[in-house]
A and B are shown apart, each in its own frame.
Chain A
Amino acid sequence: GQQLNQSPQSMFIQEGEDVSMNCTSSSIFNTWLWYKQDPGEGPVLLIALYKAGELTSNGRLTAQFGITRKDSFLNISASIPSDVGIYFCAGQNSGGSNYKLTFGKGTLLTVNP
């Protein structure tokens, strides 16, 4: 099946620092999604990207859909303690009625106040 490589696996940063994480794929996707998961809860959608080259922001979060359609990155600016959690990327190839997502293994973010 398709593989997503998400990096880094974990990050430990100081409050106020900027954060960058990315996902790369062995094949192309036509949709990229970024989710955040808090402990014991389900993932929450942060940003959805539908077009190659698209750059989208959601508050302090910015994500881009790579031109090659094989990668995406997520940046968090001026991190705060509540940014702590696991961040997942997910890619989708929606041909026909295919709704399936492929997920990265996640980036664990720890923010030191």
Chain B
Amino acid sequence: DGGITQSPKYLFRKEGQNVTLSCEQNLNHDAMYWYRQDPGQGLRLIYYSQIVNDFQKGDIAEGYSVSREKKESFPLTVTSAQKNPTAFYLCASSNRVRQPQHFGDGTRLSIL
């Protein structure tokens, strides 16, 4: 089945630790996105990538990093510089401009 796979479903981070969230899509979409969701806040854009080897900061990029070495993969690293990492992280992808974004099932990150 075509879709977006995020892993792991749940992740725990220790103080000072970097953690990486995986996002893979087999929809052959050009663009991929990372969002952060907090209760009552809606979805806020962290980073997005329109093509391989290129990405742009979204509205809340501080404390996060990404890479786009392959079209189907867009991993997100939550660094120790992100002081409030507890949230639900959603990955999305889309084909071309004006095509809707489709979402994975999310990763819930918590602090130990």
Interface residues of A (CB under 8 A from B): 1, 6, 30-31, 33, 35, 40-45, 48, 50, 88, 90, 92, 94, 96-101, 103-106
Contact = CB atoms under 8 A, between A and B. Distances in A.
B34 interface: no
Given A40-B106, A45-B102, A94 B97 contact: yes
Interface in B15-40: 31, 33, 40
Contacts of B42: 6, 88, 103-106
Nearest to B104: A42
A99 B45 contact: no
Nearest to B98: A94
Contact of B103 (A44, A94, A98): A44
A56 B92 CA distance: 24
Contacts of A50: 98
B28 to A, nearest CB: 15
B32 to A, nearest CB: 10
Given A1-B59, A94-B97, 13 more contacts: A30-B98, A42-B4, A42-B90, A42-B104, A43-B43, A96-B97, A98-B97, A99-B33, A99-B50, A100-B45, A103-B42, A103-B43, A106-B42
Contacts of B31: 99
A99 B43 contact: no
